[in-house]
Amino acid sequence: MSENARTASCACGALRVTARGAPAVVNACACLDCQTRSGSAFTYTAFFPNDAVEIEGETRSFRTMRAAGRWHEASFCPACGVSLFARLEVFPHLTGIAVGCFGDSAFAAPGGFYWASRRHHWLPAPTSVKVVDTQ
């Protein structure tokens, strides 16, 4: 990987994903699938071109069909269970990496907030990014 690479890792450090360059897309999503998979109110994901991503360590994956009828494949560390990256049918050329796993509080803000209609009542809709009620 080049000098402009950043690495995300799971909680135990056994799985690491390194991405080169700037992300193609950064978004947040509050759909029920993302809430269930992450255990949180929404996900915050940076998508990088597949050829700019290097995965180190053992993974387990599962594929689900999303509300929009497209598949989503989440990959996680089999040791600690952290869901670190995903691939989506809608973005076949990109790998989505969980931004929180980079440990960088200065990471780019999401450019969009999807499934805002499913957000928790206490979470206001962002005003500085594109807000989409569905996907």
Q: Set out the domains of the chain in order of their start, with CATH numbers.
A: 5-118 (3.90.1590.10)
pLDDT tier for residue 48 given thresholds of 50, 70 and 90? very high
pLDDT tier for residue 2 given thresholds of 50, 70 and 90? low
Write out pLDDT tens, residues 73-97: 999 999 999 999 999 998 999 999 9
Residue 4 contacts by C-beta under 8 Å, 6 or more apart in sequence?
A: 20, 21
> Is 70 exceeded by the pLDDT of residue 135?
no
Report pTM: 0.89
